[in-house]
């Protein structure tokens, strides 16, 4: 049975915001996120094999690729979150280290933010970046995993179903935009109410041919857990959901530092 959607039309703006404000729900969020950037900066300084792919005219339309010394045929692509209007790919470079150590190339896909671009255009930008990445590497990878966290999970899922995608990993995502309407995040997205279903994966992308895994933390906001459960049930992906223990919306990314949680690392040996 699919969890009942909230009666969001009757929410006050305060109720809506509290239901989706991940930062307010985690007391030490600034400590966590500043730690991400420090770890990422250190990783960038210490790892020599990097390439930057500019896939558009906007400064944020860039992909940073970290290459291993011994390259396998596996590519791990990551799309950051921030409710489509904050954070940057540079905050998450620290996630690359354990994958590169296993011979996996890691690509962090940047994108312009709202309100400079509406959500529909941000989705198009992600598709543009994915295609540019394939062209750059001339389709040399046989295993390609597209991972997104938070709003990045929404973007990963709303991207086109390219035949070379072997898996999507969606972490703590937003799959139904409607409950966000009364939050402070929504106006910047420039989404007309008539577009809510079209731009919500719960209604428009629940039958993707690409194998999909979903994670959500057991300590996340109830609405984030409900969003994931709703998408899992609508898509009949019950066996593809992992509820990460002792994990909130931010600490769940620490689970990503173990590549064996994403794919069979024995295949890389």
| Domain locations in the chain as residue ranges | 8-268
pLDDT at 3: 60
pLDDT at 266: 66
pLDDT at 5: 64
Helix (H, G, I), strand (E, B) or coil at 65: strand
pLDDT at 122: 99
Q: Give ∠ CA 126-132-134 in degrees, rounded to 5.
A: 110
User: What does the alpha-carbon distance between residue 53 and residue 176 come to, in Å, rounded to a whole number?
Assistant: 31
Which whole number is the average pLDDT over 44-49? 96
Which whole number is the average pLDDT over 82-99? 98
The two three-digit tokens of residue 160, written as one number: 């086109």
CB 199 within 8 A of CB 248: no
Residue 24 has pLDDT above 80, yes or no: yes
Mean pLDDT for the chain overall: 95
User: What does the alpha-carbon distance between residue 257 and residue 98 come to, in Å, rounded to a whole number?
Assistant: 6
pLDDT at 4: 55
Lowest mean pLDDT of 176-180, 234-238, 241-245, name the range.
Answer: 234-238
User: What does the alpha-carbon distance between residue 1 and residue 122 come to, in Å, rounded to a whole number?
Assistant: 33
Which whole number is the average pLDDT over 9-32? 96
- Write the pLDDT tens digit of every residue in 55-84: 999 999 999 999 999 988 999 999 999 999
Block residue for tokens 């991207």? 159
What is the CATH T-level fold of the domain 8-268, as seen in this structure?
A: Rossmann fold (3.40.50)
pLDDT at 139: 86
Provide the strand spans (E) within the chain.
50-54, 62-66, 74-79, 105-109, 143-149, 167-171, 212-217, 241-244
Which whole number is the average pLDDT over 153-171? 97
Which whole number is the average pLDDT over 32-38? 97
Residue 8 has pLDDT above 90, yes or no: no
Residue 1 has pLDDT above 80, yes or no: no
Which whole number is the average pLDDT over 219-231? 97
Which whole number is the average pLDDT over 130-158? 97
List C-alpha distances in Å: 149 to 13, 33, 183: 25, 14, 19
Q: What is the DSSP letter of 249?
A: T
């Amino acid at each position: 049975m699919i969890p009942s959607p909230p009666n969001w039309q009757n929410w006050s703006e305060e109720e809506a915001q509290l239901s989706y404000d991940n930062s307010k729900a985690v007391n030490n969020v600034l400590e966590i996120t500043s730690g991400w950037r420090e770890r990422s900066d250190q990783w960038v300084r210490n790892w020599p094999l990097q390439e930057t792919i500019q896939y558009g005219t906007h400064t944020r339309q860039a992909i940073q690729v970290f290459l291993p010394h011994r390259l396998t045929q596996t590519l791990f692509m990551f799309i950051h979150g921030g409710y489509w209007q904050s954070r940057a790919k540079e905050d998450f470079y620290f996630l690359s280290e354990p994958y590169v150590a296993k011979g996996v190339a890691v690509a962090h896909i940047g994108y312009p933010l709202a309100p400079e671009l509406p959500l529909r255009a941000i989705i198009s930008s992600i598709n543009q970046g994915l295609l540019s990445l394939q062209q750059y590497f001339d389709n040399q990878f046989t295993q390609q995993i597209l991972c997104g966290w938070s709003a990045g999970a929404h973007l990963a899922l709303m991207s086109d179903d390219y035949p070379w995608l072997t898996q999507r990993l969606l972490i703590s995502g937003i799959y139904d935009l409607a409950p966000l309407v009364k939050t402070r995040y929504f106006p910047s997205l420039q989404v007309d109410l008539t577009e809510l279903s079209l731009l919500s994966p719960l209604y428009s992308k629940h039958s993707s041919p690409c194998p999909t895994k979903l994670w959500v933390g057991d300590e996340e906001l109830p609405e984030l857990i409900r969003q994931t459960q709703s998408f899992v049930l609508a898509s009949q992906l019950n066996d593809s959901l992992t509820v990460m223990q002792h994990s909130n919306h931010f600490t769940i990314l620490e689970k990503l530092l173990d590549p064996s949680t994403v794919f069979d690392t024995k295949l890389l040996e």
